[in-house]
Amino acid sequence: MSSPALPLIHQALRKSFQRLESSQKVWASVLAECSPLIASVGNLAEQLRALSSLHLPSTPLNVFPDLEDRLRFKLLHAVDTALVRLNEQMCSLQSVRDSFSNQVSAVFQLYEQNRDSLDASTVMERSAMAPSICDMMGWLQDAEHHYRQQFVRRKALLQTLRADELSLLESSPKRWKSLESPSMEENITDALDKVSFFIEE
């Protein structure tokens, strides 16, 4: 009754979900590292604005020569460093995304190769221990889409930041925060819960 390809697919799915679990952890930790960086970008932008609205020669600090330029340089330098480090984090996000999407496309490829031997009822059969193949593939695709979407959004945000546009820099922590989609995260956790028996099998 059951096709010879079924164990193969199950094996691949199991691997993918294990990968998803680990990716999820890495992804969260990278994002956690990003948040202080982006907060500091916003902070530095505020300092820059304060500096430009202040007239230094009329303050007691006027004894220091070209204090304003030095301060500005320092702040800009700090912004730059933060952005560079953020970009590094983006690279690790990208690697997570790429490895996961490779894994998912491998599952889909395997399914494509064996789809003649798998009839619809097998693909959609659900049991107490394991969800159907179709559901699991759907969840994997959703997760992959989520990673891709998150990455594109965050990258687009970072790439539009420039040192000479203070308002953009200032609002960046808020916008970074708004990019999170808790519902999708929840869906992924749900899916992982649903397949927990299947993985342990």
Beta carbon nearer to another protein, 62 or 87: 87
Q: What is the 3-state secondary structure (H, E, C) of 159-199?
A: HHCCCCCHHHHHHHHHHHHHCCCHHHHHHHHHHHHHCHHHH
Q: What mask, x for binding another protein by CB under 8 A, covers residues 79 to 118?
A: ----------------------x---x--x--x---x--x
**7-36 burial: b if 16+ Cβ within 10 Å, else e:** eebeebbbebbebbeebbeebeebbeebee
Distance CA 170, CA 188 (A): 32
- 120 interacts with another protein by CB under 8 A: yes
Q: CB of residue 50 vs another protein: minimum separation in angstroms?
A: 26
Structure tokens at 115: 């789809």
Q: CB of residue 121 vs another protein: minimum separation in angstroms?
A: 8
Q: CB of residue 141 vs another protein: minimum separation in angstroms?
A: 7
Distance CA 73, CA 170 (A): 18
Structure tokens at 151: 């990455």
Beta carbon nearer to another protein, 14 or 153: 153
- 148 interacts with another protein by CB under 8 A: yes
Distance CA 12, CA 115 (A): 15
Q: Count residues near another protein (CB under 8 A).
A: 30
Answer for which of 59, 138, 174, 197 binds another protein (CB under 8 A) is 138
Q: Which residues bind another protein (CB under 8 A)?
A: 101, 105, 108, 111, 115, 118-120, 123-124, 133-135, 137-138, 141-142, 144-145, 148-149, 151-153, 155-156, 159-160, 179, 187
